[in-house]
Amino acid sequence: MDLNCPNCGGGVPHNLKYAKLVVCPQCQTSLFLEDDAVRNAGERSAIADDPSIFTIGLPFDYRGVAYVPHGRFRFDYGQGYWDEWWVGADTGEALWVSVDEGDIVMQKPMELKSAPPYERLSLGQTLKVGSDQLKVTEKNWSRCLGYEGELPEVIAVGEEHGYVHLSGPNGLLLTVEYYSDKTQIFRGHWIDPFEVKTL
């Protein structure tokens, strides 16, 4: 389905039924998608074109599964930044791929009845989540620097949120994100960048 940007009138490709935020490829205006209509979000988003193993629309393979990046957020955490890519798999599922200075983790949203409050977690603390014994290995705040492509969430440039990484055996990583109105939890594993192959 193609939409037209209300800012510049250019065509905005829109292929994902779960997309809520799209960046116009012509003028970089952020657009909200609401009931098959498009609304100008009132801000522009541009991410510096740094070298990356991933590119929007360019498929890659990881362990025999093909993925296509549809969009990405960039977050600043004080000592640097990381990119979060929203990718679709040829299996029909979608997930997040985070890249921080060459380290890559693949994560999916998970259901959890409750999460510990951000203030009660500290580095080195050990928690049991389900059958997993996890350790708090990172706790920080981040700020959205920008985004591009099609994304399933609406996050404004400059918006901040707290996050905590809980690490477990065999590269297991649980990430808890704390926003003002919600808490999100993602589960996944660190992966070897050399196993990612561009198709």
Domains of the chain by residue range: 2-44, 60-193
A 10 A CB-CB count for 142 gives: 20
Residue 61's pLDDT band, with cuts at 50, 70 and 90, is very high
Q: What is the DSSP string of 21-39?
A: EEE-TTT-EEEEEETTEEE
What are the pLDDT digits (tens) for 133-174?
999 999 999 999 998 888 888 888 899 999 999 999 999 999
Tokens of 64: 């025999």
C-alpha dihedral (134, 122, 98, 110), degrees to nearest 10: 50
Higher pLDDT, 26 or 80: 80
Of residues 102, 106, 163, the one with CA closest to residue 136:
163
Q: What is the DSSP letter of 41?
A: E
Chain centroid offset of residue 47 CA: 14
Angle at 143 between CA 61 and CA 71, to 5 degrees: 30
pTM of the predicted protein model:
0.81
CB 196 within 8 A of CB 53: yes
pLDDT at 185 over 60: yes
Give the CA angle between residues 146, 147, 152 to the nearest 5°.
Answer: 135
